[in-house]
Amino acid sequence: MKFNSLDLAGPMEIELSRFSDDRGYFVETFREMKFFEEAGEYRFVQDNQSLSTRCGTVRGIHFQTHPFAQGKLVSCLAGSVFDVAVDLRADSPNYGKWAGVTLSAVKGNQLWIPPGFGHGFCTLEPDTVVSYKVTAYYSKADDLGVAWDDPDIAITWPAVADATSLSPKDRAQPALAALPPLFSLKD
């Protein structure tokens, strides 16, 4: 899944190798050297986890601005989500475009989202747990967002997406058109 595989380092779906036996399974969820080869030499400084109890919960579209811009390696530990990245690099030909992929505990896949992209998801099952590694510390003052239902981005959310589940913060996120240039391909 790429915005443009020609020359832009966009989001990338990562398939994990799962070793199953009659006890269950074992999987390496992160191996730095492999990640560096696949995605680049990004180092993670913080792990996050969220539980969404209701199907149709939408969280996002979020990002942190420089100097706390975050790359995110997103996994779904329980349940499943439709996970979305939005290109916010002002000089990108894909500015404002989005890409989405279903992440699930069963599929055992991940989504790498580089800095410069907004991130959001919609849960597809109750009691969905999302875990993600980030490349910069949380900075409340730099934690911004864009409206999940912005018509200029026009994300095709799953039918279960339910606006009633939005946090007060996400109900008030600005439109893409209101955002200043925040990121660049040159970052």
Active-site choice (42, 62, 119, 137): 62
- Characterise 96 by phi-psi region: left (phi > 0), alpha (psi -120 to 50), beta (else): left
53 binds ligand T46 (CB under 6 A): no
First to last CA, the chain: 22
Contact 121, 130 (CB under 8 A): yes
Give residues 80-119 in contact with ligand T46 (rule: CB under 6 A). 119
Site for ligand T46 (CB under 6 A): which residue of 3, 42, 121, 157?
A: 121
- Which of 138, 151, 156, 171 binds ligand T46 (CB under 6 A)? It is 138
The two structure tokens encoding residue 38: 């696949």
Task: Kindly report the backbone phi and psi dihedral angles of residue 89, in degrees, each rounded to the nearest multiple of 5, phi listed first.
Answer: -85, 115
Query: How many residues of this chain interact with ligand T46, rule: CB under 6 A?
Result: 12
The stretch among 56-64, 96-104, 153-161, 174-182 that binds ligand T46 (CB under 6 A) is: 56-64
With respect to ligand T46, which residue has the nearer C-beta, 7 or 139? Answer: 139
Is 60 near ligand T46 (CB under 6 A)? Answer: yes
State the residue number with the nearest CB to ligand T46.
138
Q: Which of 49, 52, 74 is nearest to 123 (CA)?
A: 52
Residue 156 makes contact with ligand T46 by CB under 6 A: no
Whether 113 contacts 23, CB under 8 Å: no
Q: Does 120 bind ligand T46 (CB under 6 A)?
A: yes
Active-site positions?
A: 62, 132
Residues that bind ligand T46 (CB under 6 A): 48, 50, 59-60, 62, 72, 119-121, 138, 167, 169
